């Protein structure tokens, strides 16, 4: 599907959204080249490639351990990077006790993620998070709130028997279709971990392909649940298979595993994304989720993306944080940047 | 730029480290004198120490005079006895204090190091200075344990230490910590480009209350180094630097009785097999050749990639290189800083210009600062081993690359060098990694990683990368000696021909034993051996340089011995002992006939016992698994030195030979032994024992002849890995001098006698082995 032809609802939404907050009124949207990217259509399963994928854990950990010392951003650069991080957050609530009221608060926060006076001082009025991310039943209140606020953020829904993904296959497909019908424009699916753990790559490919088809025009994020895949090599191979089957994004975690997003897992996944781009010309997005709660961590992630994938990926179109508490820390850092004084949590409105 | 603009560009922006505290310290303390006997002297003739990042002068430092070096040595000498006499625990306290102070002043040290050397502040802060503190901590422990664990060894005395400019403070720590831990005192000369952190260290020594004279620091250029190396009151020289200077020092110290350890250049291979994690191997090169601007003796500077993945690897590597940030080393966001000095920058530039036509050059498209000493990260592909840049050390951020087809070809190309410092292997196959690591001629091998260092793990080279190890228990060998004073050796002259000779009717002509066969002398000369009673005991051949050549060749041909199992080597040593024992009476009579003494039987008995000793050791001289601070293991593997030439002593013509042969072959070496010159017949009889003991041909080769005449061809042989001169003839000087050619290890007696009845054990085994440290990080 070609975004440039405007046939994709989501791309238009993003288009508007970006115009809304980061491009001054009246300026041409030509500055947003990513939007012209073709959506990854997938390729045939290439088992030679999958089996050749390697991931040396120690070396990957060393790279990740030294990166924060190699790249740091200060002062206004730090502020700008943190604002960029906000624009990439999928502000998330995925709890059994979610209610329409709770989701309305979350959406309001996503639309106004930083105190207006701070955003104004930073000349970044209009900034929103990248999306909101909820369970299926919460799509409706989320969309309604967005409509009410006149905002155009995408609503992402977790799906396919999230988080374990062990419900009947036809129901998982049906869940996707229901969520798309309910106006979710992004579907975060969970893969069957057992296909990875038993090395049944064909099954994983077929499953992912079916999910992608069920999504239609909605973008599909493939949650690998990396904390349950056993090894970084499996993460690399699962990443490749999901991209071959047409994932728009690959995502680390549900947030429900005992280990969620880590830098080493991220490095493995984005290197797979890079290889996939080099081989096919399609840019697949990346979403680390769970466990990223500090502003400093967000900057390290962005530096990792910049170093390993390049600036092209530093856009909400290709990178998202799945996070709930990260925003609060960033808000405090931004106020510190503006005032020179350390901030307090209660000075920033909650979601 | 506004925040809004940065939001779009996502540039890093500047992240400067403040130089203020370091500048204040310099302003307060410069110009600098020398640190002698616990005090800073008044500055003498001074020269400028500059910041290579911008050419600005940092401070004036003193060019030490010969008198000042002498004063430093005198202070060290005076302090040494008392320092060594302190209980180990007391010295441990001082080293502990130094370690703590290093940590307390870590940022000042880091900033000063970066200002002076040009290395990125990230490296000073995250690599150099933490390793310095770690080295002092580790060796505080060694001082603590010395009395209990090294009861038979003692300090060498005064150590002259000359260190390079690439890791100024880290090299200081590697030299000073083990030396003073073991009770030595030191006179240290930092490199003239980078003396400032050593001068700050002098202050730390004061803060730690270190007794005066234990550490002395003299600054200046090579003339100061010469004054140290030639100083008669210095017992040991430790040098890290170029192979060229190392060779000069080897010659300058030859025959002076000074101990010597050299850590020299390298052209270390970085081998990537086709099953490697390619992205990680590419990233590893950043640590291998762009760490410290490539100014690292063990830099992985020769890239060997398996042919099938070469193109993909180079493409990924170039993409990675384009992401490197070159610039102001005080910026925390910089990967590659400044080359240490305009002279070094010129050297790198000239070398690359001269050799670049032999391959395809890629300069990383990094922005370089307009001023200061900068060189872009560079890759030269398509090189053949014959290309100059594949052989010569560049000592800059320049990587040369070639391809290989098979693991054995990788080893062949990797070892096709005069150096042997380090090597890196990337493969996900543990069989391949652990098969290749022992085959690489290097002191350090890193598997799936590179440039890992730790105080617990030995570091040092083979071949022309030098000898001696720094770090670990093995590193203490370089700063201790066996206890006790050896007596002067009494020369024993051959028995001259009597006036009325008693000659048996039957001629008995001993030959050489080369490659498992008896060989006649190439020159066709022989020499009669007489008993003190006037009997002609037989003739022996007079070996010349060609016989040495043949014997060394035969020894190399027996390379399978090094790979044989320790159990097999033990069995053969036992069998030699058994066969010698069976002929004990004959050997005893032979010894007594040659020497005119009565100790033959005792000597044979001791020789049999000695063979048993090394049969026992063959499978018990264990390596170690070092507890390095990472998830992984650093294996200290005991490997044979290779082919060793030995000059056998005269005091015990059979036992002496067995005492050299035993440890050498037990550890897998092959030997070329020159029998005792006055009493050679026990050795020539002995080859008959060897012939009947299943010893593979060429493992032991025996020559007879003049030690003085054979010393130079043996020590100068470029394919011999070590020479042990335990001769009755005075050949220590010539052996050390001639060994400079390929910087082979030497072990000379300096005309000191030894009690051969007790000459066995770990000291001998240490001489018969190289410690190779194999780093294997792991994790799934």
What is B110-131 written as a DSSP string? HHHHHHHH---HHHIIIIIHHH
Residue A283 lies in a domain: yes
Interface subset of A 95-154, CB within 8 angstroms of B: 122-124
CB atoms within 10 A of CB B598: 10
What is the mean pLDDT of the segment spanning A57-81? Answer: 96
B460: Cα separation from own chain's centroid: 4
- Would residue A214 be called left, alpha or beta, if left means φ above 0 and alpha means ψ between -120 and 50 degrees? alpha
Distance of alpha carbon B414 from alpha carbon B409, whole angstroms: 8
Residues A94 and A249: their CA atoms lie apart, in Å, by 19
CA distance B197 to B208: 16
CATH domain B512-770 topology: Aldehyde Dehydrogenase; Chain A, domain 1 (3.40.605)
State the greatest distance between any 2 C-alpha atoms of chain B, in Å, as a whole number: 110
> A80 touching B, CB under 8 A?
yes
| A7 or A288, which is more confident | A288
Question: What integer pLDDT is reported at residue A16 of this predicted model?
Answer: 37
Cβ contacts below 8 Å, chain A against chain B, sum to: 105
In chain B, what residues touch A75 (CB-CB under 8 Å)?
A: 13
Nearest CA in chain A to B282: A59
Residues B603-608: contacts with CB within 8 Å, 24+ apart? B603/B652, B603/B653, B603/B654, B603/B655, B604/B580, B604/B654, B606/B652, B606/B655, B606/B756, B606/B757, B607/B580, B607/B654, B607/B655, B607/B658, B608/B577, B608/B580, B608/B581, B608/B584
- DSSP character for B719? T
**Mutation for B interface: A57, A77, A123, most B CBs within 10 A:** A77
Q: What phi, psi does B206 have (nearest 5°)? A: -65, -45
Listed in sequence order, the residues at least 6 apart from B718 whose beta carbon sits closer than 8 Å to its beta carbon are B741, B742
Cβ within 8 Å of residue B434, ≥6 positions away? B776
Between residues B102 and B507, which one has the greater pLDDT? B102
CB contact, 8 Å: A73 with chain B?
A: yes
Residue B253, number of CB atoms within 10 A of its CB: 22
Task: Specify which residues B61 forms β-bridges with.
Answer: B32, B47
The pTM is what? 0.95
Could you give the 3-state DSSP secondary structure of residue B389? helix
Per-domain residue ranges of chain B: 34-52+63-263, 268-473, 512-770
Phi, then psi, of B229 in degrees rounded to 5? -65, -30
Is residue A77 a contact partner of residue A303, using CB atoms and an 8 Å limit?
A: no
Going by C-alpha positions, the residue among A274, B436, B277 that lies closest to residue B445 is B436
- Which residues, 6+ apart, have CB-to-CB distance to B769 below 8 Å? B621, B638, B639, B640, B641, B667
DSSP B32: B
Mean pLDDT confidence for B230-250: 97
Instruction: Give the model's pLDDT for residue B588.
Output: 98
Q: Is the pLDDT of residue A36 over 60?
A: no
Domains B34-52+63-263 and B512-770 share a fold: yes
What is the distance in angstroms between the CA of the first residue and the CA of the last residue of chain A? 35
In this prediction, residue A37 has a pLDDT band, given cuts at 50, 70 and 90, of: low
CATH number of residue A301's parent domain: 3.20.20.70
Between strands B268-272 and B300-306, the pairing is parallel
Residues of A in contact with B333 (CB under 8 A): 70-73
Is the pLDDT reported for residue A13 higher than 50?
Answer: no
Q: ipTM value of the model?
A: 0.94
Q: Is residue A30 part of a domain?
A: no
Q: Is the minimum CB–CB distance between A51 and chain B shorter than 8 Å?
A: no
Per the CB < 8 A criterion, the answer to whether B301 and B398 are in contact is: yes
Residue numbers in B near A271 (CB within 8 A) = 279
Mark A75-103 as b/e (b = at least 16 C-beta within 10 Å): ebbbbbbbbbbbbbbbbbbbeeebeeebb
Q: Could you tell me the end-to-end alpha-carbon distance of chain B, in angstroms, rounded to an integer? A: 44
**Smallest Cα–Cα separation from A331: which of A341, A343, A322, A320?**
A343
Alpha-carbon distance of B199 to B216, in angstroms, equals: 10
Residue at A326 is within a domain = yes
Question: A235: left (phi > 0), else alpha (psi -120 to 50), else beta?
Answer: alpha
**Lowest mean pLDDT segment, chosen from A230-239, B490-499, B616-625:** B490-499
Does A39 reside within a domain? no
Across the interface, whether the CB atoms of A76 and B7 are under 8 A apart is answered no
Residues of B in contact with A61 (CB under 8 A): 779
Asked if B13 and A61 come within 8 Å (Cβ–Cβ), the reply is: no
Yes or no: say if B537 and B563 are a contact pair by the CB < 8 Å rule. Answer: no
* Chain A residues within an 8 Å CB radius of B335: 70
Q: Residue A142: inside a domain, yes or no?
A: yes
Using CA coordinates, name the residue in chain B closest to A265. B780
Residue B409 and residue B428 in contact, taking contact as beta carbons nearer than 8 Å: no
Residue A14 above 50 pLDDT? no
Q: How many CB atoms sit inside 10 A of residue B55's CB?
A: 13
d(CA B121, CA B331): 7
Q: Which residues of B touch A314 (CB under 8 A)?
A: 10
CATH code reported for the domain at B34-52+63-263: 3.40.605.10
pLDDT over 80 (residue A10): no
Q: Which residue has the tokens 């020789």?
A: B607
Q: Is residue A27 part of a domain?
A: no
Q: Report pLDDT for B503.
A: 77
CATH class of B268-473: alpha beta
CA atoms of B155 and B675, how far apart (whole Å):
33
Rounded distance between C-alpha atoms, residue B398 and residue B714, angstroms = 37
How does the average pLDDT of chain A come out, rounded? 91
Yes or no, beta carbons of A58 and B10 under 8 Å apart: no
**Percent of chain B scoring above 90 in pLDDT:** 97
Candidates B6, B752, B770; CA nearest to B463 is B770
Q: Is residue A121 a part of any domain in this protein?
A: yes
Q: What is the pLDDT of residues B752-762, one digit of tens each?
A: 999 999 999 99
Identify whether A18 is part of a domain. Answer: no
* Spatial separation of the C-alpha atoms in residues A152 and A253, rounded to whole Å: 26
Closest approach of B25 to chain A, Cα-based (Å): 26
Give the DSSP per-residue string, A52-68. Answer: H----HHHHHHHHHHHH
Chain segment A113-129, per-residue pLDDT in tens: 999 999 999 999 999 99
Q: Answer whether A62 touches B (CB < 8 Å).
A: yes
pLDDT classification of A6: cutoffs 50, 70, 90: very low
pLDDT per residue as tens digits for the range A209-266: 999 999 999 999 999 999 999 999 999 999 999 999 999 999 999 999 999 999 999 9
Of B15, B275, B332, the CB nearest to A54: B275
CA distances to A261, A287, B539, B710 from A298, in Å: 12, 12, 85, 70
- The pLDDT value given to residue A3: 38
What pLDDT is stored for residue B500 in this prediction? 79
Count of structural domains, chain A? 1
Task: Specify the pLDDT at position B505.
Answer: 66
Residues of B in contact with A70 (CB under 8 A): 122, 333, 335
What helix, strand, coil percent values describe chain A, rounded to 5? 55, 10, 35
B279, B322, B332, best to mutate vs chain A, most A CBs in 10 Å: B279
- Find the catalytic residue in B263, B603, B736, B738: B263
Distance from CA of B275 to the nearest CA of A (A): 8
Distance between CA B722 and CA B465 in Å, rounded? Answer: 14
DSSP line for B232-288:
TT--EEEEES-HHHHHHHHHHHTTS--EEEEE----EEEEE-TTS-HHHHHHHHHHH
From B513's Cα to the closest Cα of chain A, the distance in A is: 51
pLDDT higher than threshold 50 for residue B59: yes
Q: By C-alpha distance, which of B61, B63, B62, B59 is closest to B27?
A: B59
Inter-chain touch B8–A22, beta carbons under 8 Å: yes
Give the per-residue pLDDT at A12.
35
């Amino acid at each position: 599907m070609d975004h440039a032809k405007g046939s994709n609802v989501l791309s238009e939404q993003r288009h508007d959204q970006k115009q809304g907050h980061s491009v001054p009124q009246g300026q041409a949207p030509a500055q947003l080249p990513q939007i012209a990217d073709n959506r990854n259509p997938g390729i045939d399963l290439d088992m030679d490639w999958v089996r050749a994928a390697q991931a040396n854990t120690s070396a990957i950990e060393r790279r990740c351990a030294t990166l924060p010392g190699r790249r740091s951003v200060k002062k206004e650069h730090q502020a700008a990077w943190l604002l960029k991080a906000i624009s990439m957050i999928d502000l998330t609530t995925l709890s059994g006790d979610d209610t329409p009221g709770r989701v309305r608060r979350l959406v309001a926060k996503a639309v106004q993620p930083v105190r207006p006076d701070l955003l104004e001082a930073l000349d970044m009025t209009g900034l929103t998070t990248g999306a909101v991310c909820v369970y299926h039943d919460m799509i409706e209140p989320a969309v309604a709130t967005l409509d009410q606020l006149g905002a155009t953020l995408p609503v992402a829904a977790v799906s396919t028997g999230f988080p374990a993904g062990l419900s009947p296959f036809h129901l998982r497909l049906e869940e996707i279709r229901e969520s798309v019908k309910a106006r979710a424009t992004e579907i975060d699916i969970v893969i069957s971990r057992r296909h990875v753990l038993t090395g049944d790559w064909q099954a994983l490919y077929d499953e992912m392909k079916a999910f992608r088809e069920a999504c239609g025009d909605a973008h599909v994020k493939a949650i690998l649940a990396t904390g349950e895949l056993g090894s970084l090599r499996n993460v690399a191979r699962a990443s490749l298979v999901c991209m071959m089957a047409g994932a728009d994004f690959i995502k680390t975690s549900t947030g429900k595993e005992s280990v969620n997003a880590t830098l080493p897992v991220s490095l493995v996944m984005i290197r797979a994304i890079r290889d996939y781009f080099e081989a096919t010309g399609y840019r697949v997005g990346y979403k680390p989720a769970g466990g990223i709660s500090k502003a400093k961590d967000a900057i390290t992630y962005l530096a990792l993306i910049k170093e390993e994938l390049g600036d092209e990926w530093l856009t909400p179109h290709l990178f998202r944080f799945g996070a709930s508490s990260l925003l609060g820390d960033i808000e405090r850092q931004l106020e510190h940047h503006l005032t020179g004084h350390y901030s307090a949590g209660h000075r920033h409105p909650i979601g | 730029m506004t925040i809004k603009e940065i939001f779009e560009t996502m540039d890093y922006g500047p992240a400067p480290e403040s130089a203020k505290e370091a500048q204040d310290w310099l302003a307060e303390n410069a110009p600098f004198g020398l640190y002698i006997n616990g005090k800073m002297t008044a500055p003498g003739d001074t020269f400028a120490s500059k910041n290579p990042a911008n050419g600005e002068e940092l401070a004036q430092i003193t060019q030490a005079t010969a008198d000042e070096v002498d004063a430093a040595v005198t202070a060290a000498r005076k302090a040494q006895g008392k320092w060594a006499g302190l209980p180990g625990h007391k010295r441990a306290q001082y080293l502990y204090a130094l370690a703590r102070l290093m940590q307390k002043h870590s940022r000042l040290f880091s900033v000063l190091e970066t200002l002076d050397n040009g290395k990125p502040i990230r490296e000073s802060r995250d690599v150099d200075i933490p390793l310095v503190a770690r080295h002092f901590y580790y060796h505080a422990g060694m001082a603590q344990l010395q009395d209990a664990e090294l009861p038979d060894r003692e300090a060498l005395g005064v150590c002259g230490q000359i260190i390079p400019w690439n890791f100024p403070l880290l090299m200081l720590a590697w030299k000073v910590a083990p030396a003073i831990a073991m009770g030595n005192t030191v006179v240290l000369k930092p490199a003239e480009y980078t003396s400032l952190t050593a001068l700050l260290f002098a202050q730390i020594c004061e803060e730690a209350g270190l007794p005066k004279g234990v550490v002395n620091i003299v600054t200046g250029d090579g003339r100061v180094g010469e004054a140290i190396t030639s100083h008669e009151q210095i017992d040991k020289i430790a040098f890290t630097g170029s192979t060229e200077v190392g060779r000069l020092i080897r010659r300058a110290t030859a025959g002076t009785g000074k101990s010597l350890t050299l850590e020299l250049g390298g052209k270390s291979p970085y081998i990537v097999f086709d099953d490697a994690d390619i992205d990680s191997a590419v990233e590893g090169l950043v640590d291998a050749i762009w760490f410290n601007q490539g100014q690292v003796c063990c830099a992985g500077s020769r890239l060997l990639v398996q042919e099938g993945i070469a193109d993909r690897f180079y493409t990924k590597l170039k993409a990675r290189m384009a992401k490197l940030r070159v610039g102001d080393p005080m910026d925390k966001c910089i990967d590659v800083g400044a080359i240490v000095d305009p002279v070094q920058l010129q050297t790198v530039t000239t070398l690359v210009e001269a050799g670049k036509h032999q391959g395809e050059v890629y300069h990383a498209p990094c922005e370089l600062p307009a001023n200061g000493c900068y060189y872009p990260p560079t890759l030269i592909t398509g090189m053949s081993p014959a290309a100059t840049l594949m052989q010569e050390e560049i000592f800059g951020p320049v990587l040369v690359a070639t391809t290989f087809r098979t693991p054995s070809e990788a080893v062949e190309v990797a070892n096709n060098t005069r150096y042997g410092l380090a090597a890196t292997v990337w493969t996900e196959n543990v069989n391949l990694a652990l098969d290749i690591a022992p085959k690489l001629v290097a002191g350090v091998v890193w598997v799936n990683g590179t440039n890992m260092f730790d105080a617990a793990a030995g570091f040092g080279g083979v071949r022309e990368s030098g000898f001696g190890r720094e770090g670990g228990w093995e590193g203490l060998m370089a700063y201790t000696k066996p206890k006790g004073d050896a007596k002067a050796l009494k020369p024993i002259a051959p028995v001259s021909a009597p006036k009325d000779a008693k000659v048996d009717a039957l001629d008995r002509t001993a030959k050489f034993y080369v490659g498992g066969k008896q060989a006649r002398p190439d020159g066709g000369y022989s020499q009669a051996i007489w008993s003190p009673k006037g009997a002609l005991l037989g003739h022996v051949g007079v070996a010349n340089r060609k016989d040495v050549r043949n014997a060394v060749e035969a020894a190399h041909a027996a390379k399978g011995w090094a790979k044989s199992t320790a159990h097999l080597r033990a069995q053969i040593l036992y069998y030699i002992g058994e066969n010698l024992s069976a002929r004990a009476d004959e050997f005893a009579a032979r010894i007594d006939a040659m020497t005119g003494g009565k100790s033959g039987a005792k000597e044979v008995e001791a020789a049999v016992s000695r063979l048993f000793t090394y049969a026992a050791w063959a499978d018990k001289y264990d390596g170690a698994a070092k507890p390095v601070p990472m998830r992984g293991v650093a294996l200290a593997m005991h490997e044979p030195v290779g082919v060793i030439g030995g000059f056998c002593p005269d005091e015990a013509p059979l036992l002496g030979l067995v005492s050299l042969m035993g440890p050498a072959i037990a550890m897998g070496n092959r030997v070329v032994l020159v029998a005792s010159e006055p009493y050679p017949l026990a050795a020539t009889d002995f080859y008959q024992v060897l012939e009947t003991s299943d010893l593979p041909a060429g493992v032991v080769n025996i020559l007879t002849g003049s030690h003085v005449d054979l010393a130079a061809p043996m020590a100068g042989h470029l394919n011999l890995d070590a020479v042990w001169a335990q001769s009755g003839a005075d050949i220590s000087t010539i052996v050390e001098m001639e060994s400079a050619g390929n910087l082979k290890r030497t072990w000379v007696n300096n005309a000191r006698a030894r009690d051969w009845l007790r000459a066995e054990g770990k000291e001998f085994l240490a001489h018969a082995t190289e410690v190779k440290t194999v780093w294997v990080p792991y994790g799934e």
